[in-house]
Homo-oligomer: A and B are copies of this chain.
Amino acid sequence: MSNKKNSRRNFLQLGAFGAAALITSPSWMKATAGETIAKKADQNSIKLGIAGYSFVNFNLDQSLAMMKRMDVKYLCIKDFHLPFNSTAEEIAAFHKKLADSNVTGYAVGPIYMKTKEEIDKAFDYCKRVGVNLMIGIPEIKDLPYVAQKAKENNVKFGIHNHGPEDKIYPNATVIWNHIKDLDKNLGMCFDMGHNVRDGQDSIKDLVRYKDRIFDIHLKNVTAADAKGSTCELGRGIIDIPAFTRALLKIKYPGCCSIEFEKDMKDPLAGIAESVGYFRGVLSAV
């Protein structure tokens, strides 16, 4: 934030609100206002989203109302909000509804796919939805096929790790070992909470696998083993400020999408606290 080029870029990123603040602030406030603007840019320097699964018990309107309230702008689309067999008209209406809430559906998934046919269907869905990122859980034997399809369709494909209960992809290192020699469009949706539940170090893994991390499920967990469960972002065992510093260090270009698997029938308070926590960390690191 200290050089002029950065300041200017950050100022431009702010849009109308920041500009208005700068123009209307009394002169004695300029230094402070300038600082505030720099901080606001920090706060927005990483895209914050919500993983659709957080809203498994809510329809799209309810989910978007919560996102609007929290001013979160990116949603990873789950099929319970946009079914696989949606028509072009339904997909257009879906995107329109998101845009009306100032939300972008930036990816689809996670999608389980057990056969080549299901892989084909998933890529077809992704293409029809019009996003270039899909989160999925394919069989290991099908990974070369998935890599080929990802390359052909110019789609990034992120495999999701699901912790110690997941016999195929428990952690990021397992995924890495499967994909490292395959096409670079094949990567991971790094669930940094489940990775810790599997006894891994998510801060080190973020840096290690950065080139193939296309999406992140952001959460905290209560313990570094199978007994651990999701909790509010500031209340678990993962050092989120350290993780955030690593995100900034690697210049992570993707979304950090909060996946809140607690109080799933009444998640707004916990998601809002988590959203606030991440913004606070981003503003202050």
- CA A203 – CA B272 in complex, angstroms? 26
Query: In the complex, which of the residues B24, B36, B39, B272 contacts A273, with contact meaning CB atoms closer than 8 Å?
Result: B272
**Hey, which chain B residues are within 8 Å of A199, CB to CB?**
26
A27 to chain B, nearest CB (A): 11
- CA A284 – CA B245 in complex, angstroms? 9
Say whether A39 contacts B239, CB under 8 Å. yes
Q: Give how many A residues have a beta carbon under 8 Å from the other chain's beta carbons.
A: 50
A183 to chain B, nearest CB (A): 32
Given contacts A277-B280, A280-B277, A281-B280, contact A239 B35 (CB under 8 A): yes
Segment from A85-93, A119-127, A151-159, A227-235 that makes contact with B: A227-235
Contact with B along A7-41 (1 / 0, CB 8 A): 00000000000000100111011001101100100
Contact with B along A69-87 (1 / 0, CB 8 A): 1110000000000000000
Cβ of A268 within 8 Å of any chain B Cβ, yes or no, is yes
**Hey, which chain B residues are within 8 Å of A278, CB to CB?**
276, 280
**Hey, which chain B residues are within 8 Å of A241, CB to CB?**
39, 280, 283-284
Given contacts A28-B201, A238-B36, A283-B240, contact A233 B276 (CB under 8 A): yes
Cβ of A242 within 8 Å of any chain B Cβ, yes or no, is yes
**Hey, which chain B residues are within 8 Å of A232, CB to CB?**
71, 276
Say whether B283 contacts A283, CB under 8 Å. no
**Hey, which chain B residues are within 8 Å of A268, CB to CB?**
268-269, 272
Which 7 A-B pairs give the minimum distances between C-beta atoms?
A: A280-B280, A276-B276, A273-B276, A276-B277, A284-B284, A277-B280, A280-B281
- CA A241 – CA B225 in complex, angstroms? 33
Say whether A43 contacts B276, CB under 8 Å. no
A114 to chain B, nearest CB (A): 33
Say whether A284 contacts B244, CB under 8 Å. yes
Query: In the complex, which of the residues B66, B234, B273 contacts A43, with contact meaning CB atoms closer than 8 Å?
Result: B234
**Hey, which chain B residues are within 8 Å of A283, CB to CB?**
234, 240-241, 277, 280-281, 284
| Interface set, chain A 175-203, CB cutoff 8 A to B | 199, 201, 203
- CA A224 – CA B28 in complex, angstroms? 12
Given A273-B273, A284-B284, 4 additional A-B pairs, CB 8 A: A39-B239, A39-B242, A274-B276, A276-B278
Say whether A280 contacts B284, CB under 8 Å. yes
Say whether A237 contacts B269, CB under 8 Å. no
Query: In the complex, which of the residues B36, B272, B280 contacts A279, with contact meaning CB atoms closer than 8 Å?
Result: B280
Cβ of A270 within 8 Å of any chain B Cβ, yes or no, is yes
